[in-house]
Amino acid sequence: MMDEQFPLDGAQAEAYIALGSNMGDREQLLLEAISLIDAHPNIVVSRVSGMYETDPVGYTEQPPFINMALAVRTTLSPLMLLRQLLEYEQQLGRVRQIRWGPRTIDLDLLLYDNVRMDQEELTLPHPRMMERSFVLVPLHDVLDQTHRLQSEVSAVSEAALLDGKEGITLWKTINWRSASEPFES
């Protein structure tokens, strides 16, 4: 299977994950998801965005979301990383009832190095991320400055926050450190 070729020879790939929650203790659920992801032996959370409160999109008769994004380093293949994220959603009580409906947690794999793939189970880059300010604004916080999408993500993110029409506001910044990072003085 092609997917098992990534990454090659145990090399680390950089991936970006979108997180969202609008049921229960939204902040706590997001922090639990980050902890689960970072605790995996083949995934290290390297950067964490701020938490943004966002209006629901699609199905609008639901509470606002808190959205954020992570940059991670992983030796898992794209499909294995996706499957791990889906497992974490289940652990955190995700139930899929209404498309774009309320959820305890949503974990979406957005980007995985420069991998492009279109399979039934996974499409990379995420097929609708460039249409979603609630994804791009937090992604802008963590996207590597040299990433090929940096200028496009930056432009959309800045416009969304500037005009206020997208229903996105910075809700909270968090101080996240993985165990591998030294403490700053």
Per-residue pLDDT tens digits for 4-41 = 445 555 679 999 999 999 988 999 999 999 999 999 99
Average pLDDT, the chain: 84
In degrees and rounded to multiples of 5, residue 102 shows phi and psi of -60, 150
Left (φ > 0), alpha (ψ -120 to 50) or beta: where does 93 sit? Answer: left
In the annotation, is 103 catalytic?
yes
Whole-prediction pTM: 0.85
Annotation says 113 is catalytic: no
Task: Please spell the DSSP secondary structure of 71-125, one letter per residue.
Answer: EEEESS-HHHHHHHHHHHHHHTT----STT---S-EEEEEEETT--EE-SS-EES
Which residue would you say has higher pLDDT here, 177 or 179? Answer: 177
What are the pLDDT digits (tens) for 60-110?
677 888 999 999 999 999 999 999 999 999 888 766 665 555 778 999 999
Whether residue 182 has pLDDT greater than 50: no
Is 106 one of the catalytic residues?
yes
Candidates 26, 38, 73, 108; catalytic one: 108
**In this predicted structure, which of 31-40, 141-150, 164-173, 174-183 has the lowest mean pLDDT?**
174-183
